[in-house]
């Protein structure tokens, strides 16, 4: 894209979208507040602790003291316009910001000044690399950094990044406190001034050697992408400042290097310098448009759907290619839909907006067919589908029932809307256990969803762990006769059948064979016998559905007047119930295959956790794609999945993830089987 000084770029009027990403607790929302204050968008800087920030204004975020959904803000700085997308960092809520990253121009990766926590940034850096999204690392809370922290952080972070890290600033220390920084590109020093722009000072004499060393490393990094600069360095010539700044801008925008800067969001340290970096080095929207598949014309990229109470359903997204106004037509899944009112969003506040210019992030009403992570083209646009997003696995599940059965319909409507807003949330009706299941990333995620369910929709629910879909089968063959005979005046009821049963191999299911001869049972009643047998298999002697059994109908009798389909269905159920009880029934539990991805060194601990949950370890190996990570594969009883996510994260700084899928049914015996059968019997009574 070349040198894109804001005064010369042809797209200068376009809004640039900057996403704030990073682990939970690193100060993303505080940094957003500092940027708004420093740019003049707000006249007082709020704090997360006081619950007075523009972002994180939802009741859930205020209660938790951390982001639970993405926040939208905007500001102007020296004539340039920016949209801020503050994304959650907590593992349970990170999915809410993923679609927004697809159409952002730049990401600020906010991290702590603690090398021991550097690993928390790796999943984020990997995601940005996969998206091809240019990014800058912001070491926040720099006022708390220990001596040597910045260089130690770079040592930890560089193996996590595909692109070289380019240190832009080094801290100036007085005793144990960071009081300013040296800008390696500008060769200038600045001293922090709370509430004001940093003051330019002389570079401390004791830092001269370190400044030259780190500046040389910065220039060498840039020279890898600029032959003229490389030649100048080889000739021991000092490059002019314009060349260095132009290379920094071009390499940042081209995602060739990752600048690293320092910041103190709460102390207003380095915030104005960061604003200037955004102004000169943040890419313009044309690159983001290409990344979501827009080749020509205009489109609206939807990255979130919100059901906003009185305002109705809103599609939040970014305008690319061409301006968008109320009443304009968009292609929504093959159907032409006209936009309703447009709104600018500033935290929890909205303002009516007549026309959204290129690059702006807005909320649009009346796009009923809009879905998250979808590109809605304008007429005549050439657009391909945006790349599919990989959301975190839904490793937490709860069964829910309304406290008041009159709320059942409200529950269904509310869950539909919540899942529409949150792509990491899913609800289903489980056919095997007849439960309403709510699935999310982790327990924190589901807890917030339940809070929204009651606050927004007035639906209170009871929750419990999902039932495990236990089954039972038989060890040996058996035979039984079922006779249903009832006489109570008029026509009676008569059905009589004899069956033989035997076990089938695992996974074979159910087989029924008719060997009736001589008309012992009329043909029209045989399907009724089979139905009765299937009825009995829905709840076997141990209390669970029966699988892998073959049944042969061998004999029976009928009455010319009193026999009926109902009578033979009852007889079939009676015969099957008696036969199953004689056939040595035993319990089967579902076993899942689990793959745990965890940072290197944690694999053996993860294996111990799985083993303690009756897991069978299949292997521990290097991760097939991620350096320094490991993958543990195991077979694990489905009943052991509850709470596994939290336990694995606790031993891996919150980084371990797993995916699980049904593998097979296995016999469950001993005290575990006794406990399951006892609990089932208690439920029945």
- pLDDT beyond 80 at 490: no
Question: Which of 654, 658, 594 minimizes the C-alpha distance to 122?
Answer: 654
Backbone angles phi, psi at 39, to 5 degrees: -85, -10
- 80-86 vs 16-21, strand pairing mode: parallel
Residue 678 in 3-state DSSP?
helix
Question: Which of 657, 618, 612, 658 minimizes the C-alpha distance to 635?
Answer: 618
More confident residue, 10 or 513: 513
Q: 613-640 pLDDT, tens per residue?
A: 999 999 999 999 888 899 999 999 999 9
- pLDDT beyond 50 at 100: yes
Cross-strand pairs, 593: 635, 661
For residue 607, the model assigns a pLDDT of 96
More confident residue, 404 or 182: 182
Backbone angles phi, psi at 576, to 5 degrees: -65, -40
Determine what percent of the chain is predicted with pLDDT higher than 90: 83
For the chain, what is the largest distance between any 2 Cα atoms, rounded to a whole number of angstroms? 115
- pLDDT beyond 90 at 312: no
Residue 178 in 3-state DSSP?
strand
Token representation of residue 658: 């797993």
Distance CA 134, CA 342 (A): 28
- pLDDT beyond 50 at 529: yes
For residue 206, the model assigns a pLDDT of 92
For residue 483, the model assigns a pLDDT of 95
For residue 489, the model assigns a pLDDT of 64
* Residue 572 CB neighbour total at 10 angstroms: 30
More confident residue, 473 or 11: 473
Average pLDDT, integer, range 20-28: 95
For residue 3, the model assigns a pLDDT of 36
For residue 12, the model assigns a pLDDT of 55
How many residues are there in the chain?
Answer: 685
For residue 631, the model assigns a pLDDT of 96
Q: Residue written as tokens 């204004």?
A: 57
Residue 592 in 3-state DSSP?
strand
71-77, strands of its sheet edge to edge:
71-77, 80-86, 16-21, 106-111, 135-139, 258-262, 165-167
Question: Which of 165, 167, 157, 15 minimizes the C-alpha distance to 80?
Answer: 15
Question: Which of 373, 466, 449, 371 minimizes the C-alpha distance to 414?
Answer: 449
Q: 641-679 pLDDT, tens per residue?
A: 999 999 999 999 889 999 999 999 999 999 999 999 999
For residue 451, the model assigns a pLDDT of 93
Token representation of residue 664: 């097979």
Q: 79-90 pLDDT, tens per residue?
A: 999 999 999 999
Residue 667 in 3-state DSSP?
strand
For residue 385, the model assigns a pLDDT of 84
Distance CA 627, CA 629 (A): 5
Average pLDDT, integer, range 463-480: 95
For residue 579, the model assigns a pLDDT of 98
Distance CA 327, CA 338 (A): 5
For residue 7, the model assigns a pLDDT of 36
Q: 115-142 pLDDT, tens per residue?
A: 999 999 999 999 999 999 999 999 999 9
Q: What is the DSSP string of 416-467?
A: HHHHHH-TT-EEEEETTTTEEEEEESSHHHHHHHHHHHHHHH---EEEEPPP
Average the pLDDT over each of 1-5, 192-196, 550-554, 575-579 and give the range with the smallest value. 1-5
Task: Report the predicted TM-score, pTM, of the whole model to 2 decimal places.
Answer: 0.90
Residue 211's pLDDT band (cuts 50, 70, 90): very high
- pLDDT beyond 50 at 168: yes
- pLDDT beyond 80 at 9: no
Q: 543-558 pLDDT, tens per residue?
A: 999 999 999 999 999 9
Percent of the chain as helix, strand, coil, to the nearest 5: 30, 35, 35
The C-alpha angle with vertex 436 and arms to 434 and 440, in degrees rounded to 5, equals: 135
For residue 578, the model assigns a pLDDT of 97
520: left (phi over 0), alpha (psi -120 to 50) or beta: alpha
Question: Which of 654, 510, 676, 624 minimizes the C-alpha distance to 89?
Answer: 654
Average pLDDT, integer, range 218-226: 95
Residue 4's pLDDT band (cuts 50, 70, 90): very low
Cross-strand pairs, 17: 83
Average pLDDT, integer, range 273-280: 96
Residue 263's pLDDT band (cuts 50, 70, 90): very high
Which structural domains are found in the chain, ordered by start? 16-288 (3.40.50.300), 297-383 (2.40.30.10), 396-464 (3.30.70.870), 472-583 (3.30.230.10), 587-684 (3.30.70.240)
Residue 49's pLDDT band (cuts 50, 70, 90): confident
For residue 309, the model assigns a pLDDT of 74
Please name the residues in contact with 24: beta carbons below 8 A apart, sequence gap of 6 or more: 66, 67, 88, 89, 90, 91
* Residue 261 CB neighbour total at 10 angstroms: 21
Q: 589-598 pLDDT, tens per residue?
A: 999 999 999 9
Distance CA 585, CA 570 (A): 22
- pLDDT beyond 60 at 520: yes
For residue 10, the model assigns a pLDDT of 41
Backbone angles phi, psi at 450, to 5 degrees: -65, -35
pLDDT, mean over the chain: 92
For residue 231, the model assigns a pLDDT of 92
């Amino acid at each position: 894209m070349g040198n894109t000084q804001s005064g010369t770029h042809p797209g200068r009027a376009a809004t640039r979208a900057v996403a704030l990403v990073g682990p939970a607790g690193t100060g993303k929302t505080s940094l957003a507040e500092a940027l708004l204050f420093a740019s003049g968008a707000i006249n007082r800087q709020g704090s997360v602790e006081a619950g007075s920030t523009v972002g994180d204004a939802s009741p859930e975020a205020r209660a938790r003291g951390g982001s639970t959904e993405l926040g939208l803000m905007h500001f102007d700085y020296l004539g340039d316009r920016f949209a801020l997308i503050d994304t959650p960092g907590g593992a349970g809520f990170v999915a809410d910001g993923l679609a927004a990253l697809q159409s952002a121009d730049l990401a600020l990766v906010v991290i702590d000044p603690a090398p021991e926590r550097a690993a928390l940034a790796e999943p984020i850096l990997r995601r940005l690399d996969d998206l091809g999204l240019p990014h800058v690392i912001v070491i926040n809370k720099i006022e708390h950094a220990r001596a040597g922290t910045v260089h130690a952080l770079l040592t930890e972070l560089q193996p996590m990044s595909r692109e070289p890290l380019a240190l832009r600033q080094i801290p100036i220390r007085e005793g144990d406190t960071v009081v300013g920084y040296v800008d390696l590109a500008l060769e200038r020093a600045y001293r922090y001034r709370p509430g004001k722009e940093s003051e330019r000072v002389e570079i401390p004499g004791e830092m001269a050697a370190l400044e030259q060393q780190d500046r040389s490393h910065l220039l060498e990094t840039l020279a890898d992408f600029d032959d003229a600069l490389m030649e100048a360095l080889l000739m021991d010539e000092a490059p002019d400042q314009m060349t260095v700044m132009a290379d920094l801008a071009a390499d940042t925008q081209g995602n060739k290097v990752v600048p690293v800067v320092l910041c103190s969001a709460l102390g207003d340290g380095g915030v104005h310098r960061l604003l200037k970096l955004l102004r000169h080095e943040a890419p313009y929207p044309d690159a983001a448009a290409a990344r979501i598949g827009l080749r020509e014309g205009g489109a609206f990229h939807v990255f979130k759907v919100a059901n906003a109470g009185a305002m109705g359903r809103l599609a939040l997204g970014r305008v690319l290619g061409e301006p968008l106004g109320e009443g304009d037509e968009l292609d929504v899944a093959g159907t032409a839909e006209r936009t309703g009112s447009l709104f600018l969003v500033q935290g929890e506040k909205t303002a009516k907006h007549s026309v959204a210019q290129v690059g702006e992030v807005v909320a649009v009403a009346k796009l009923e067919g809009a879905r998250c992570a979808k590109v809605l083209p304008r007429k005549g646009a050439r657009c391909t589908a945006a790349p599919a997003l990989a959301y975190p696995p839904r490793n937490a599940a709860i069964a829910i029932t309304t406290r008041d059965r009159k709320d059942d319909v409200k529950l269904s409507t509310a869950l539909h809307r919540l899942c529409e807003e949150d792509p990491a949330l899913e609800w289903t009706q489980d056919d095997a256990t007849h439960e309403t299941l709510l699935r999310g990333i982790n327990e924190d995620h589901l807890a917030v969803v339940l809070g929204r369910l009651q606050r927004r929709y007035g639906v209170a629910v009871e929750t419990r762990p999902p039932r495990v879909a236990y089954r039972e089968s038989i060890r040996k063959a058996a035979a039984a006769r079922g006779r249903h005979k009832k006489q109570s005046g008029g026509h009676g009821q008569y059905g009589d059948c004899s069956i033989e049963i035997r076990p089938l191999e695992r996974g074979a299911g159910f087989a029924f064979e008719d060997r009736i001869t001589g008309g012992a049972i009329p043909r029209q009643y045989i399907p009724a016998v089979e139905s009765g047998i299937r009825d009995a298999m829905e709840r076997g002697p141990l209390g669970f559905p029966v699988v892998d059994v073959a049944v042969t109908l061998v004999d029976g009798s009928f009455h010319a007047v009193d026999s009926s389909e109902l009578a033979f269905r009852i007889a079939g159920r009676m015969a099957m119930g008696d036969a199953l009880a004689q056939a040595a029934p035993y319990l089967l539990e579902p076993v899942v295959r689990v793959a745990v991805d965890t940072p290197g060194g944690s694999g053996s601990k993860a294996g111990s956790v799985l083993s303690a949950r009756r897991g069978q370890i299949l292997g521990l190996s290097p991760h097939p794609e991620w350096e320094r990570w490991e993958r543990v594969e195991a077979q694990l009883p489905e009943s052991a999945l509850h709470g596994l996510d939290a336990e694995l994260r606790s031993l891996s700084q919150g980084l371990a993830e797993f995916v699980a899928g049904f593998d097979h049914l296995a016999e469950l015996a001993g005290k575990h089987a006794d406990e399951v059968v006892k609990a089932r019997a208690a439920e029945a009574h």
